[in-house]
Amino acid sequence: MTNLTQVDKYLETHLDESIAELSTLVAQPSVGAQNWGMQECARLVGQMLARRGFNVEIMPTGGAPVVFAERKGRSNKTLLFYNHYDVQPAEPLELWDTPPFEPSLRDGKLYGRGVSDDKGHLTARLHTIDAILAADGELPCNVKFIIEGEEETSSVHLHDFIRENKQKLAADACIWEFGGVDHREVPMQYLGLRGICYVELSVETASIDVHSGLGGSIFPNAAWRLTWALSTLKGPDERIRIPGWYDGIAPPSARDRELMAAQPDLAEEYKSRFGVKGFLKGLTGGVELALAEVFEPTCTICGLTSGYQGPGSKTVQPAQASAKVDFRLVPDQTPERCLALLRAHLDEQGFSDVKITFLGGEPAARTDPDDPFVKIVVDSAEEIYESKMEMIPMVGGSGPNHPFVHDLGLPVATAGLGYPDTRAHAPNENIRLDLYLKHARHMARVMYQFSE
Amino acid sequence: MTNLTQVDKYLETHLDESIAELSTLVAQPSVGAQNWGMQECARLVGQMLARRGFNVEIMPTGGAPVVFAERKGRSNKTLLFYNHYDVQPAEPLELWDTPPFEPSLRDGKLYGRGVSDDKGHLTARLHTIDAILAADGELPCNVKFIIEGEEETSSVHLHDFIRENKQKLAADACIWEFGGVDHREVPMQYLGLRGICYVELSVETASIDVHSGLGGSIFPNAAWRLTWALSTLKGPDERIRIPGWYDGIAPPSARDRELMAAQPDLAEEYKSRFGVKGFLKGLTGGVELALAEVFEPTCTICGLTSGYQGPGSKTVQPAQASAKVDFRLVPDQTPERCLALLRAHLDEQGFSDVKITFLGGEPAARTDPDDPFVKIVVDSAEEIYESKMEMIPMVGGSGPNHPFVHDLGLPVATAGLGYPDTRAHAPNENIRLDLYLKHARHMARVMYQFSE
């Protein structure tokens, strides 16, 4: 019924062609935060799908367009792939060993911005489709792709897009944009994602910067206003001090603890990978570190900017200051409520001069570990990875799984080519070609078994 | 005995030439903080003095060189001019109406970085010397210039330079680098300068930036560490919280209060000039605002930098963060003691991970308002400015007057071409040509009277 041997052989013998296609895609910058190359990249992705016989639509969203593609298959089941073509900014550029938008292959790895997050996932899945079409002449099920361009900027328009296109996106199950193995080469099944509420806090205290000899004693200072406002949000105990922030948050369940406890202790790996000396809140490792990593709301300063930042000294009192702040949300926090709590808190603390600009957000969402589709993805991985797939009830990162789970009603399973040193969002982002091939082989098995 | 009429006429008829010389000097960038053009500017200044028959030495300091120049005169008295050839960084460049290093003359004003602070003061004084030499063929007294290149970066090497060259610098009185009129066109005599202790505070929490979805809950964040450390230094009540900071500080004397009370209330002018809505510490104006402006120690954040600062959002947890912090000192605080107190405080508050880099400093110093040289400068101004010069016991800014007052034992008087909208340290720095001419005329009278 299936031609898996033939498919596997195709995947292996045509790997170079797929990596070449990925390199072309990575060489097309698509930095959402900088609005760089978005339309061009969407068109390129559309052409890649059209070449495989998909009906392709480049659909407007109000921001970067969504590439939607559909091809009918043998069974009447429909599998939806969610991917994104946008990438994180490549800065700081000086920390890249080779230029971020000139993909470079060395030691079995491909380096470049977006090779892992998320362009490699897309081309590996297209590689699977090529192999199945070569073996069978048709797909075993209907396949749809929704490939957005705003994942790295909090998927601002995706939720509305999905609600307005529920019919078009109708499916039976969804494969998520990412996945991968841990440091033991064990494949991971991530079943939930935290939400996010990303804001910029900004203050303006004067019309021009003032000589600090004059302004220091008597004029308000934007950098100080920002520093003090930030310090009311969270102290060194890491507890978020905004009243109501923790209301209605469910602690991890017994099942969550059990699944998390089955995970290896990552404490030492984190220390060596990121060069951190220790962890927050007195954590040292084990299940408590793992639970803290993903089941707690966070308040992270992602960036600070004010006044003079060059070498040496400049005696100036800044008129403007701003911070990028990323709040990770857990069920059932919502960005809307969090924004209202933040505004009320700043006002109450005397910081009504601190402006909040909402840069994107989405609530958290989870998929049932006992869903039959999850079982297909988990079970079919074992042959490829020579290891059982491990179920993680929740991860620390965010993504727009909420509308897939709650508006489209889909089970969402993860599978991918990531690995611990993939450096998503950081300089020298890379993928391992062996894991690229494994992901393509895994996806072939998922498609066949799902279609039965 | 003097040819003042002739001197005045020369100053007026040769003004264009002096402004042309100033424009050439401004067009030579000399941004100390960026180590840009320092040697070139020192050489240019040396040539300008040599052309006037001065013996010139470009003297090494360990940083930017000092230009020392000397020319003998009729009397055996020696007047020392202190100037500097370095300028503040011109950033933010986009706020300049014309490029900062391409001097532009419009509406009776010359615009450019350094036209006021301090290159215009130097060329106006050379203009006076040209006029006197044209009229008399000689100078009425010995004249020395000490023109340093590190004034805008806290004169790091000047104190040692002066101690090591006391003989060479020996004089009877000193004219300071700056001065000017207030918003009523009244010339001001500034008799004291606050000290300064300028530091960079920096934190490093990891070897690389971490995805905020992972790092936010469990890894230390450099931007948070910095924010919390800063917020221990000063709160919204503006009181510096470093233990011992206010020890041994003399409050303003009755004479200080009297001199400050004679000043006009600048509250409304500050509001319109700088676009501030109000003042710190509940101040509304009057003598209390004036006293707070100059007689209190300050702690000013001059700049903040960490993580992602571009447009839109980037979900990253910064590994590094730093702040530029400017402490203004009053008698008898010293930078050395303040640094020690700051380090002890940060350690005690749990911030031994916050590194302090000392970027320069000097103690405060004052000149006696009843010194005879001060009287010459004050009295001779009245004819020029059609207004009595007002005595200000202390100003908010800093400068290296301490070694002039305490090592060379000189009375230091201020006189200059500044005015309230001169925008020193800010975009569109400018001077008024009428005040340039007045300063040159004032200096001629000071030189003649001082020499008698």
How far, in Å, CA of A56 to CA of A71, rounded? Answer: 9
Determine the distance from the C-alpha atom of residue A157 to the mean position of all C-alpha atoms in its chain, rounded to a whole number.
15
Q: Whose structure tokens read 């009185």? A: B173
How far, in Å, CA of A271 to CA of A276, rounded? Answer: 5
Flag if A315 and B224 touch (Cβ within 8 Å).
no
Instruction: Return the DSSP state at A280.
Output: G
Q: Which two tokens stand for residue B338?
A: 């303040």
Long-range contacts of B282-286 (CB under 8 A, 24+ apart): B283/A218
B441–chain A nearest CA distance, Å: 28
Flag if A313 and B302 touch (Cβ within 8 Å).
yes
HSE-up of A134 (CA within 13 Å, CB side)? Answer: 17
Size of interface A-B (CB pairs under 8 A): 322
B11–chain A nearest CA distance, Å: 31
B281–chain A nearest CA distance, Å: 8
What is the structure's pLDDT at A2?
A: 61
SS3 B299: strand
A266–chain B nearest CA distance, Å: 12
Best mutation target, A31, A182, A212, to test chain B (most B CBs within 10 A): A212
SS3 B112: coil
Nearest CA in chain A to B32: A312
What is the structure's pLDDT at B209?
A: 86
Identify all chain A residues contacting B196, using CB atoms and an 8 Å cutoff: 315
Determine the distance from the C-alpha atom of residue B3 to the mean position of all C-alpha atoms in its chain, rounded to a whole number.
33
Best mutation target, B249, B315, B414, B430, to test chain A (most A CBs within 10 A): B315
What is the structure's pLDDT at A1?
A: 46
A209–chain B nearest CA distance, Å: 7
How far, in Å, CA of B34 to CA of A310, rounded? Answer: 8
Nearest CA in chain A to B199: A313
HSE-up of B381 (CA within 13 Å, CB side)? Answer: 27
Nearest CA in chain A to B238: A217
How far, in Å, CA of A4 to CA of B257, rounded? Answer: 93
What is the structure's pLDDT at B2?
A: 60
Q: Which of B118, B130, B110, B93 is nearest to B41 (CA)?
A: B118
Contact between residue B342 and residue B232 where contact means Cβ atoms under 8 Å apart: no
Strand ordering across the sheet containing A109-111: A104-106, A109-111, A430-432
Best mutation target, B301, B352, B354, B358, to test chain A (most A CBs within 10 A): B301
Identify all chain B residues contacting A359, using CB atoms and an 8 Å cutoff: 312-313
B189–chain A nearest CA distance, Å: 16
Identify all chain B residues contacting A326, using CB atoms and an 8 Å cutoff: 212, 216, 313, 315
A172–chain B nearest CA distance, Å: 29
Determine the topology of domain B194-249+297-362 in CATH: Alpha-Beta Plaits (3.30.70)
HSE-up of B168 (CA within 13 Å, CB side)? Answer: 16
Flag if B303 and A314 touch (Cβ within 8 Å).
yes
Considering the segment(s) A195-249+297-362 as one domain, its CATH architecture is 2-Layer Sandwich (3.30)
Q: Which residues contact A47 (CB under 8 A, 6 or more apart)?
A: none
**Cα-based torsion angle of the residue sequence A121, A124, A130, A136 in order, rounded to the nearest 10 degrees:** -90
**Alpha-carbon Rg for chain A in angstroms:** 23
Q: Measured in Å, how far apart are chain B's first and last C-alpha atoms?
A: 10
How far, in Å, CA of B334 to CA of B358, rounded? Answer: 13
Flag if A397 and B211 touch (Cβ within 8 Å).
yes
Q: What is the ipTM of this complex?
A: 0.80
Question: Which stretches of chain B drop beneath a pLDDT of 70?
Answer: 1-2
What is the structure's pLDDT at B332?
A: 87
Identify all chain A residues contacting B283, using CB atoms and an 8 Å cutoff: 218
Considering the segment(s) B4-191+367-451 as one domain, its CATH architecture is 3-Layer(aba) Sandwich (3.40)
Q: Which two tokens stand for residue A372?
A: 């039959």
Flag if A397 and B306 touch (Cβ within 8 Å).
no
Phi, psi of B357 (to 5 degrees): -110, 120
Contact between residue B213 and residue A397 where contact means Cβ atoms under 8 Å apart: yes
Identify all chain B residues contacting A296, using CB atoms and an 8 Å cutoff: 217
Angle A374-A376-A379 from CA coordinates, rounded to 5°: 105
Contact between residue B199 and residue B241 where contact means Cβ atoms under 8 Å apart: no
Q: Whose structure tokens read 């000092």? A: B66
Q: Which residues contact A328 (CB under 8 A, 6 or more apart)?
A: A194, A195, A196, A297, A298, A300, A396, A398, B212, B213, B216, B217
How far, in Å, CA of A358 to CA of A200, rounded? Answer: 7
Q: Which of B23, B7, B47, B14 is nearest to B120 (CA)?
A: B23
How far, in Å, CA of B271 to CA of B268, rounded? Answer: 5
Contact between residue A146 and residue A66 where contact means Cβ atoms under 8 Å apart: yes
Flag if A313 and B324 touch (Cβ within 8 Å).
yes
HSE-up of B356 (CA within 13 Å, CB side)? Answer: 23
How far, in Å, CA of B2 to CA of A127, rounded? Answer: 95
A317–chain B nearest CA distance, Å: 5
Flag if B212 and A326 touch (Cβ within 8 Å).
yes
CA-CA distances (angstroms) from residue B441 to A195, B377, B445?
Answer: 70, 12, 7
Nearest CA in chain B to A396: B213
Q: How many Cβ atoms are within 10 Å of A64's Cβ, its own excluded?
A: 25
Q: Which residues contact A143 (CB under 8 A, 6 or more apart)?
A: A54, A70, A71, A73, A78, A79, A81, A129, A447
Which of B307, B350, B424 is facing A324, going by the closest CB pair? B307
Flag if B308 and A196 touch (Cβ within 8 Å).
no
pLDDT tens digits in sequence order for chain A, 452 residues long: 468 999 999 999 999 999 999 999 999 999 998 999 999 999 999 999 999 999 999 999 999 999 999 999 999 999 999 999 999 999 989 999 999 999 999 999 999 999 999 999 999 999 999 999 999 999 999 999 999 999 988 788 999 999 999 999 999 999 999 999 998 999 999 999 999 999 999 999 999 888 888 878 899 999 999 999 999 999 999 999 999 999 999 889 998 999 999 888 989 989 998 999 899 999 999 999 999 999 999 999 999 999 999 988 888 999 999 999 999 999 889 999 999 999 999 999 999 999 999 998 889 999 988 899 999 999 999 999 999 999 999 988 888 999 999 999 999 999 999 999 999 988 999 999 999 999 999 999 999 999 98
Best mutation target, A274, A281, A430, to test chain B (most B CBs within 10 A): A274
Flag if A301 and B227 touch (Cβ within 8 Å).
yes
How far, in Å, CA of A174 to CA of A402, rounded? Answer: 12
Flag if A293 and B214 touch (Cβ within 8 Å).
yes
Nearest CA in chain A to B280: A218
SS3 A262: coil
HSE-up of B22 (CA within 13 Å, CB side)? Answer: 34
CA-CA distances (angstroms) from residue B198 to A30, A245, B201?
Answer: 42, 39, 10
Flag if B211 and A283 touch (Cβ within 8 Å).
no
What is the structure's pLDDT at B217?
A: 85
Give the pTM: 0.80
A190–chain B nearest CA distance, Å: 14
Nearest CA in chain B to A87: B314
Angle of helix B38-50 versus helix B120-136 axis, rounded to 10: 10
Q: Convert A255-272 to b/e letters by CB count within 10 Å (16 or more is b).
A: ebbebbeebeebbeebbe
Best mutation target, A228, A301, A330, A351, to test chain B (most B CBs within 10 A): A301
Flag if A194 and B213 touch (Cβ within 8 Å).
yes
Angle B60-B61-B64 from CA coordinates, rounded to 5°: 85
Which of B218, B305, B310 is facing A289, going by the closest CB pair? B218
Which of A207, A213, A228 is facing B396, going by the closest CB pair? A213
How far, in Å, CA of A31 to CA of A48, rounded? Answer: 19
Q: Convert B276-296 to b/e letters by CB count within 10 Å (16 or more is b).
A: beebbeebebebbbbbbbbbb
What is the structure's pLDDT at B396?
A: 86
Nearest CA in chain A to B235: A228
Q: Which of A30, A43, A397, A208 is nearest to B212 (CA)?
A: A397
Listed by start position, the domains of chain B span 4-191+367-451, 194-249+297-362
